[in-house]
Amino acid sequence: MAVMVIGASRGLGRALLRGLEQDGRNVVGVARTAPDASRHWIQADLSRPREAAELIAEGAPSGLSTVIYNVGAWEQTAFSSAYDFAVSDEDEIESLISVNTTAAILVLRRLIPVILNNAQPRVILTGSTSGLARSGRPEVAFGASKFALNGIAAALREGYRDRRLAVTTLQLGYLNTDDDLHVPIDQATVRGDGRLIPVHDVVSVVRMILGLSPSSFVSEIIMPAVLDDRF
């Protein structure tokens, strides 16, 4: 069965793609720019949600059973002292919501019928601790878009419970995306000194989810760094 990683060109998405490929899985990557023609890639720009949803649906293999929506645009000044909601650029806000929320809904609308044709359909949404009520973060558009994923996940579970659709939301804290899987995890752990999560750990969690039997699923995982004082 095939796995699709949407947002797979760099960072966590690239790590998920490479890690699952190493496991021998058939993995399809989706990115605005296809970085490697030797792999199965679908080129789609999620800032144009309708067009992207159509391209992704057209390129989806019939054996697709799992969709990982790993997309997370944020404000240019997010996670810094320069962020100020009152002066946020409105075009940036609209684009962010379009990529993080509208595109997720439209893409999943196209792909759900495909994965339901398989025995163990799964959706994994990459959320953020910024989307939790106790996030302690001021970024309005990013936080709202990630909070919206919780509603998407809950609605999909109810709408397709009788079809045994398993939907998981990963609420991730600050990530170390500088060290890819080729960097030993002991070395990747040093960066951030307990305040950044190696992508290796997220790949391990996704492997666990994909290894579950059809009789169970994980609805939500909250995964902050060990020294994240918000949690």
Q: Does residue 191 form part of some domain?
A: yes
Give the CA distances from residue 122 to residues 90, 103, 222, in Å, rounded to whole numbers and listed in that order: 34, 18, 18
- Work out the average pLDDT over 133-156: 93
Please check the confidence at residue 37 and state whether its pLDDT lies above 70.
no
Q: Does residue 230 form part of some domain?
A: no
Q: What pLDDT, in 10s, does the model give residues 70-114?
A: 998 888 888 899 999 999 999 999 999 999 999 999 999 999 999
Q: Report how many domains make up the chain.
A: 1
Residue 146, pLDDT score: 94
What's the whole-model pTM score?
Answer: 0.94
Could you tell me the pLDDT band of residue 35, with boundaries at 50, 70 and 90? low
Determine contact, residues 181/198, Cβ cutoff 8 Å: no
Q: Does residue 229 form part of some domain?
A: no
The CATH number for 203's domain is: 3.40.50.720
Q: Does residue 159 form part of some domain?
A: yes
Domain holding 150, by residue range, is: 2-78+85-223
Q: What pLDDT, in 10s, does the model give residues 188-220?
A: 999 989 999 999 999 999 999 999 999 999 999
Residue 72, pLDDT score: 83
Hey, what long-range contacts does 38-44 have (CB within 8 A, 24 or more apart)? Answer: 41/8
